[in-house]
Each structure stands twice: as structure tokens, then as C-alpha cells.
Amino acid sequence: MAEGDPWRDKAEHGGIPRNSGLYSRHSIVRSGVCAVHVDVVSSGVCGVHVEVVSSGVCAAHVEVVNSGVCAVHVEVVSSGVCAVHVEVVSSGVCAVHVEVVSSGVCAVHVEVVSSGVCAVHVEVVSFGVCAVHV
């Protein structure tokens, strides 16, 4: 887990000001021979954006749970023969960004747990035959 590049609460994401009181649930799935599962649960004053782009023979799972005054962005891009799992749990006054890019024969798991006043940025890029846990 690497901390850095904190989001600004006043910044906009997807055209929606953060912590504006608006609920944003946006999911995009494009797939070839794939199985994709997206699960988003949000409560409180939150904005959630989930984007999944997958192609090839792959399985992608994204789960986001957030509460309180939060902004969460999860983006997963996978291609080739791979399995990708991303789980984000955030609470309190937080901003969380998770980005996973994987290709080739690989398995990638990213889990972020943040609470309190925090900003978390996690980026994983993997290629070839690999297994990555963050």
C-alpha cells in the first residue's frame, strides 16, 4: 500500500463534486469471453465510481463498500488469461483510489482498508506469468 497523490475533497470526479450529497453509482462492463462481477454498496454522503474493462478469457471481481463522507474510485483493466480481484473498504472522511492493470497469465489481488481522515492511492501493474498481492 502506497500513500500519496491525495484527492482533494473539492475536486470533481466524473463531473460530480466530491461530498456534494449526490449518490453516484456508475458501472461499465465490456467483455469478450469473460465473467465479470461488480458489487457496490454505499451509504452516507458518498460518490462511487466503478469501471471494469475486461477482454479475453478472464474473470474480474470488484467489491466496494463505503460509508460516511467518502469518495471511492475503482478501475480494473484486465486482458488475456487472468483473474483480478479488487476489494475496497473505506469509512470516515476518506478518499480512496485503486487502479489495477493486468495482462498475460496472472492473478492480481488488491485490498485497501482505510478509516479516519485519510487518502490512499494504490496502483498495481503486472505483466507476464505472475501473482501479485497488495
* Residue 20 pLDDT > 60: no
3-state helix, strand, coil in the chain (%, to 5): 0, 70, 30
The grid coordinates of residue 19 equal: 461530498
Q: What angle do CA 43, 49, 12 make, to 5 degrees?
A: 95
- Enumerate the domain spans of the chain: 12-133
Compare 4 and 86 and report the one with higher pLDDT.
Answer: 86
In the numeric block, the cell 500513500 is attached to 3
Helix, strand, or coil (residue 92):
coil
Compare 30 and 55 and report the one with higher pLDDT.
Answer: 55
pLDDT of 1 reads: 41
> Model pTM?
0.61
CA neighbor of 36 nearest in space, from 14, 11, 17, 62 = 62
